[in-house]
Amino acid sequence: MSQTHDQNFKNLILDYPVQAIQFFAPQITLPQNDNVRAIPLRQEQLKEKLGDRYRELDTPIMLEWPDSDKKALIFLLEEESIAARFSITRLAHYCLDISELYKTTRLIPVVIFIKGGHYQQVLKLGTDHHTFLHFHYIACDLSTLNASEYLDSDNLVARLNLPLMCYNESQKVATYAQAIKGLMTIEQSITQQIKYIDFIDQYIELSTEEQTHYQTCYLKENSEGEQSMGHAQLLRDEGIQQGIKQGIQQGMQQGVQQGMQQGMQQGVQQGEVRLLLRLIKHKFGSIPVPIRKKVEQADTESLLLWADKILAVERVEDLFT
């Protein structure tokens, strides 16, 4: 699971580097410049000898901006899902390596702790009378952040991390809803929306009762219908894109055009199936095997009809009558 966390946060930081730095390291004031460039650096550091083990950085990012007399800043962002595994000595090694490699001292180490815990924050080398090395870093402990302070943030990285922050159990569904809303209002790319809805779902698990509450309060009774339509369209688009990709791969031997057409057909079908199963799960909880098979084997017209009907029925069996 820690490797999954690691990959999730690497993707998040590389997709939204400036917003990630602004959220994870608010102590650092970045220049008010729309032309700030974020440049990912190589993770594997060069070895002095080919037989040596290498040190791999989590996510080093260099920020550059024009019209400035100051040199670029390098941020070293490291994610730790289990605080006990964190090594400040290893982090200090990473910082010294990258400082030497890029010939700069303008380096800011940031460690993101997902679940909190005890971790060493300062490393001192020396004697009782002299300190020869004093090293510390910016610690962003997500479990100690108050989710209520970020519910309406215009920083997408903050909104996506709402499920990992501190909130009352009674606010769990509202916190989930604000994370989803932030994703669909701040991020305009459907592809990125599809990518990060799974990020939200992975870090907050709703019970059947909570799913029903979310369905009723944040999908069914939205007077403007924006979030409901956005969420439904998101699921449709994800299924369509997956179907197109699969269809193209399967149909390539029969010709590109035929593969594209097959992909589109499969994509629409998979998108509608995914949408209806998700709505059934939100409203009724678990999905019986016969119901799932019926949905997966249905044609597109039936799927559309059932998706429009689901909000009006009280029992899942009534959906198909």
Question: Structural domain boundaries of the chain?
Answer: 2-144, 206-320
Does residue 63 contact residue 40 with C-beta atoms inside 8 Å?
no
Amino acid of residue 153: S
pTM beyond cutoff 0.75: no
- 3-state class (DSSP) for residue 62: strand
- 3-state class (DSSP) for residue 73: strand
Helix (H) or strand (E) holding 10: helix 2-15
Q: How many residues does the chain have?
A: 321
- pLDDT tens for the chain, 321 residues long, are 455 557 889 899 999 999 999 999 999 988 776 678 888 887 555 455 545 444 455 789 999 887 655 678 899 999 888 898 999 999 999 999 899 988 999 999 999 999 888 999 999 999 989 999 999 999 999 999 999 999 999 999 999 999 999 999 999 999 999 998 899 889 988 678 878 888 888 898 888 888 888 877 876 544 344 444 445 555 555 555 455 445 545 554 444 445 445 555 566 677 778 778 877 887 777 788 888 888 888 887 888 788 778 777 888 888 887
Give the integer Cα–Cα distance in Å for 272 and 295: 9
